[in-house]
Amino acid sequence: MTSTGLLAVYPDNPSVDLARTLDLAGYSWKGVSSPDTMARLQPTDGWLGAVVGCDEDPESGWAMCRALRKLDRPVRRILVLVTGAQIADLEVRDNLFDDFLLTPFHPRELEARLRHLLYNELTAPSSAVIEHAGLRLNLETYQATFRGQPLDLTFMEYELLKYFAHHPGRVYSREVLLSEVWGYEYFGGARTVDVHVRRLRAKLGEEHAHLIETVRSVGYRFGASKWQG
């Protein structure tokens, strides 16, 4: 894969793992040290997206995210790097990022998240599609639509919704969802599931938020209605 745009990366001296992953994945990127530098170096057609480290200096990292949103050509694809201790802080910053990744990260997860974040408009054969109760998920491109309207989901929002759609009507605890969707060594805690469910409900819209039902003292259940597909 070779990108056709330029990624902004903050700070301008990214870790060896981050730089190597971006290079090997074929992304063109530029390290930026401040909002002023980022604005000055912005390509004429705008930044393709941004990877912003908020794990070591959160205040500066979030300031960069705000600046990226305020450009003449606002950056709409921002991936932030955070620590597990920062998960709870994400709720009040929903408008400043599009996806987040815990550090230290696995290179393959970073590459997968960026691929989804930047290329979810691609198409794929209809055989790689899940449909349920108006929801349509393309398993190859990570496209998602509901009632024909596109859903702008982050990588893990998509993965969680896909897991729900594969198992409609079943109840899952937060711990099971964390293990099945996030993986065996994820340290974000069960609250990570709540954050993603809240964001999924918001993106489905108030009228359809009930598709992800909270089962008191147990966890969550998706679309108890019959599978369509």
Query: Is the domain of 115 the same as that of 131?
Result: no
Query: Is the domain of 35 the same as that of 76?
Result: yes
Query: Is the domain of 108 the same as that of 171?
Result: no
Query: Is the domain of 107 the same as that of 190?
Result: no
Query: Is the domain of 137 the same as that of 184?
Result: yes
State the Cα–Cα distance between residues 31 and 41, nearest whole angstrom: 10
Contact 38, 32 (CB under 8 A): yes
State which residues form the domain around 113: 6-119
List strands edge to edge, sheet with 171-173. Answer: 171-173, 219-222, 212-215
Q: What is the CATH number of the domain that holds 181?
A: 1.10.10.10
Query: Is the domain of 71 the same as that of 142?
Result: no
Domain assignment present for residue 162? The answer is yes
Angle at alpha carbon of residue 213, lines to 163 and 156, rounded to 5° = 35
Query: Is the domain of 114 the same as that of 138?
Result: no
Domain assignment present for residue 152? The answer is yes
Cβ-proximal residues to 203 (8 Å cutoff; 6+ apart), any chain: 151, 152, 153, 157
Number of domains within the chain: 2
What was the pLDDT predicted at 186? 59
> Which of the listed residues 61, 95, 119 is the one where a domain comes to its end?
119
Query: Is the domain of 36 the same as that of 133?
Result: no
Domain assignment present for residue 217? The answer is yes
φ and ψ at 198, to 5 degrees? Answer: -60, -40
State the Cα–Cα distance between residues 177 and 174, nearest whole angstrom: 5
Query: Is the domain of 115 the same as that of 130?
Result: no
Q: Could you tell me how many helices (H) and strands (E) the chain has, helices first?
A: 7, 12
Tens digit of pLDDT at every position of the chain (229 positions): 445 578 999 999 999 999 999 988 888 899 999 999 998 888 887 898 999 999 999 999 999 999 999 988 888 899 999 999 998 889 889 889 999 999 999 998 998 888 888 864 333 444 578 887 788 888 777 788 888 888 888 888 988 998 888 888 888 898 888 888 887 555 667 788 899 999 999 998 887 888 899 998 889 998 754 333 3
What was the pLDDT predicted at 185? 56
State the Cα–Cα distance between residues 87 and 198, nearest whole angstrom: 13
Q: What is the pLDDT of residues 30-87, one digit of tens each?
A: 999 999 999 888 888 789 899 999 999 999 999 999 999 998 888 889 999 999 999 8
Domain assignment present for residue 45? The answer is yes
Q: What is the pTM of this model?
A: 0.57
Total Cβ atoms within 10 A of residue 161: 27
Query: Is the domain of 97 the same as that of 52?
Result: yes
> Which of the listed residues 119, 140, 171 is the one where a domain comes to its end?
119
Q: What is the CATH number of the domain that holds 15?
A: 3.40.50.2300
